[in-house]
Amino acid sequence: MGGNERKAGWHLHQHFGKKIPIESVANVDILSSLEFNEDGRYLAVGDNGGRVILFQQEEAHTTPQQEMVFDMESESESESYKFFSEFQSHEREFDYLNSTEIQERINCIQWLPSNPDSLFLLSANDKTIKLWKVSEKCVGPVPCPILDRKNGSGRSPAPLDPPTYSIVPQNKRVYSHAHSFNINTLSALSDGETFLSADDFRINLWNLEVSNQSFNIVDIKPSSMDNITEVIMSMRCHPTQCNLFVYANSRGQTTLSDLRVSAKSSPCRIFEDHATYIDPDLLDYVSPISSIRFTPGGRYFLTRDFLSVRVWDMYMEKEPVQVLPVHDCLLPQLPYHMDSDFHLDRFDVAVSPDGRSVLTGSYQNVFHIMDRVTREDVALEASRKSKLRPPQHPGGRLPPLSFENPDFGRKVTQVAWHPQQDLIALTALNVMYVFSSNQ
């Protein structure tokens, strides 16, 4: 994509769901995960109610709109996403051993390589991972030859209605009883046969074909829970080298590990940015890394903490090659809001197919598209009004972020970038937005 094309504006392409007052949003309807498949033809969305909703970037065999969870509006019919399927992935359960309730919330979704006839994906709540196969099946009458009883020869079939098809999700495997703590990430290795799952203290290696056995490759759990100094926040496998993966913790450190080194994956490199401009009393609040993404080539990876997005060269752990600020304007306000739960907010990060642009969310329904080369930061509001430019306010800018703003609780937390196009998807509470760039 050339420089002139990059100057083209981003505009709302589609939205699914209705924006309603924050206090009226049902918890089960809040969207909790978002992921494109490998070619971008399908988009999966998970919610707090344990449902997974699939969208397809073409017209084939769509389900009538009245069966959709979302109300949909599209600014353009070209390359629009249509409802494809919906299924209940997880149900609420009770852990009798620990006397705790296990929420049905979908924490993460991971697409797997598909074949021409079926889609495959993993979904996870706090404790259980499931493998799903989604395929099209004929549910109507199928014409067949009618035999002539006299000589056994076949003759033309009787006229029948054309066959009808339905999208059928099937739960193929359940990977359970391997995580004592809440699962936060799933990531597939590039070999197409294995995947990793991470919780607060451990990372496990699974074979897709084996649901009753996993191998613990990272374990940072202290002998006493009173001595906890860090938890694992996010994890990601390298896009091309199936032996490499990175994971990030609540102290702002990212560890690169190699599965070939040892059974417990001794760290190859530890990446940490020692920021000197932040009050030490605030470090515990702003350091946790909520998301990691590799660039498509795998040379760089991005980390998202509360204040910024950092771009790292995987061969240079001393300091990031780039720091892209997101919430620096909130830094002076933080000491006055230490009793709030802002430090629990987890913002995702995504990267464009060429690795040049970065997408991440913020408060007040704002999201950022940042150019790593020009350092241009395009801030837009996730709203039906965001068509050709950001909403206009005094000075022609978005209103400044403030803890006191009534809309501060509207957050763009989940983001995803189409793997082949300038098209992005993001969620804000119960609404999903799809934006595209003018070409």
81 lies in some domain: no
76 lies in some domain: no
- In the sheet that 165-175 helps form, which strands lie side by side, from edge to edge? 108-115, 118-124, 129-138, 165-175
**What is the per-residue pLDDT across 371-412, written as a single tens digit (0 to 9) for each?**
999 999 999 999 887 643 444 444 445 677 888 787 788 899
Q: Report pLDDT for 347.
A: 96
**What is the per-residue pLDDT across 104-113, written as a single tens digit (0 to 9) for each?**
999 999 999 9
CATH number at residue 356: 2.130.10.10
**In sequence order, which residues have a C-beta less than 8 Å from that of residue 306 and are 6 or more positions away?**
285, 286, 287, 288, 290, 327, 342, 343, 345, 347
Q: How far apart are CA 82 and CA 213, in angstroms?
A: 37
pTM: 0.87
User: How would you label 116-132 residue by residue, b for 16+ Cβ within 10 Å and e otherwise?
Assistant: eeebbbbbbbbbbbbbb
Q: Are 283 and 334 in contact (CB under 8 A)?
A: no
Which has more pLDDT, 401 or 47?
A: 47
134-148, 158-172, 390-404: range with lowest mean pLDDT: 390-404
Confidence of residue 99 (pLDDT cuts 50, 70, 90): confident
Q: What are phi and psi of 177, to 5 degrees?
A: 60, 25
Q: Report pLDDT for 140.
A: 67
Task: Give the angle 93-94-98 at the CA atoms, nearest 5°.
Answer: 140
Listed residue (154, 96, 148, 93) closest to 126, CA to CA: 93
Q: Report pLDDT for 95.
A: 84
Which has more pLDDT, 7 or 51?
A: 51
71 lies in some domain: no
CA dihedral 318, 279, 350, 235 (to 10 degrees): 60
Average pLDDT, the chain: 86
Domain membership of residue 325 as a residue range: 3-11+95-142+173-437
Q: Report pLDDT for 433.
A: 97
53 lies in some domain: no
215 lies in some domain: yes
Say whether 284 sits in a helix, a strand or coil. Answer: helix
Confidence of residue 123 (pLDDT cuts 50, 70, 90): very high
80 lies in some domain: no
138: which 2 tokens?
A: 């004929």
* Structural domains counted in the chain: 1
Owner of token pair 């919610």: 47
